[in-house]
Amino acid sequence: MAIHFGGEFRVNKKRTEVYDFLSDPKRFAPLLPDFESMTQLDERRSTVNLKVGISHIRGTASIQLELAETERPRHAVYQGKGSLAGSSVHLTAGFDLEDDGNGTRVIWKGEAQLFGRLISVAGGLLEPLARKNVQKLIDALQGALS
């Protein structure tokens, strides 16, 4: 099961400031919905733990996140892999930044591919929940960058 998402927003910060924030998991990871903890493994890799509750499945999802592409101050892509309750997720999330007058336009997109038992148990609940959580994250990022 694949879920695609994307959009854009504008903030009144310089492109370099926005890039530095978005490319630093220590700064943006705590804004993730249901954030539990994060461990920085090295300059490009970290592990992010999120509380998960879908249908009767509850637990912690551990996501191995890597800053796979970086082109300061305009582009970056994260890739991640994680698991929970006999299921796995592969995700890609990236952003492009453009100067926009006195601020920055953030164009973001991503994809989550889910595999395993979770799809059969929570099926139709997954996509609406994922979209809701992505919107919460975007709202939190906009707030943090304002």
CATH class of 2-145: alpha beta
Tell me if 17 sits within 8 A of 141, measured CB to CB: no
Kindly report, residue by residue over 106-134, the tens digit of the pLDDT. Answer: 999 999 998 887 666 666 777 888 889 89
pLDDT on residue 110: 95
CA separation for the pair 45, 16 (Å, rounded) = 21
pLDDT on residue 117: 73
pLDDT on residue 78: 97
Residue extents of the structural domains in the chain: 2-145
Percent of the chain clearing pLDDT 70 (strictly above): 94
Q: What DSSP line would sit under 65-119, residue for residue?
A: EEEEEEETTTEEEEEEEEEETTEEEEEEEEEEEEEETTEEEEEEEEEEEEEEHHH
